[in-house]
Homo-oligomer: A and B are copies of this chain.
C-alpha cells in the first residue's frame, strides 16, 4: 500500500467535512440575506452587552482585517453598532442594535434546531468523543506550529 506517498486521508476528510458543513449551514443563513460570517457575528453578539472586535474575532475565528469589513457591512444593514470605549481610546464595543437582536431572537432557535439535526443519530457520548478528538488534533497542530520554527531568529536582535 502506497499510503506513504498520498496526502493523509484523515486531513482530506477534515476539509471535506468542514466544507460540507458550511454549505449546509449556509442553507439556513442565506435566506436571511446574511453571509455565514455575518450571521456568526450576530449569534456571537446575541444576549451579550457587546464586546471588543478583538474578542469577537477570537470567538468567531475571523481575523481582524476581515472582521472590520464584516462588521461594517452589518453596520450598513443596521444590525450592529460600534461604540467607542471610554476607558481605552484604541478600543470599541460592538453590539447588536435592536434590529440585530430581533433577528437573533427570531432565527437562532430554529438555527440551532437546523444544526443539531446533524447529530440526530449520535449519542451524547459520541458527540463528546468526536469533540475531544478534534480538540486533540487541534492541540497537535498548535503544538507542531509552535515547535516548528526553522529559523529561531535569535541571532538577529534589532
In the complex, what residues of B have CB within 8 A of residue A102's CB?
Answer: none
Q: Please report A residues at the B interface, Cβ cutoff 8 Å.
A: 3-21, 23-24, 27, 43, 47, 61, 108, 112, 114-122, 127-131, 133-135, 137-138, 140-142, 144-145, 148, 157-158
- The answer to whether B144 touches A118, judged by C-beta atoms less than 8 angstroms apart, is yes
CB-nearest residue of chain B to A138: B17
- Chain A, interface SS category: helix
Copies in the complex: 2
CB-nearest residue of chain B to A114: B148
- The answer to whether A140 touches B119, judged by C-beta atoms less than 8 angstroms apart, is yes
In the complex, what residues of B have CB within 8 A of residue A119's CB?
Answer: 8, 10, 140
How distant is the Cα of A17 from the Cα of B61 in the complex, in angstroms?
A: 11
- The answer to whether B20 touches A18, judged by C-beta atoms less than 8 angstroms apart, is no
Minimum C-beta distance from A45 to chain B (A):
13
- The answer to whether A24 touches B127, judged by C-beta atoms less than 8 angstroms apart, is no
Asked, given contacts A15-B18, A130-B10, A135-B13, whether A117 binds B144 with beta carbons under 8 Å apart, the answer is yes
In the complex, what residues of B have CB within 8 A of residue A7's CB?
Answer: 43, 112, 115, 158
The 9 closest A-B pairs by CB, nearest first: A10-B131, A17-B138, A18-B18, A13-B134, A20-B141, A17-B134, A118-B140, A24-B141, A24-B145
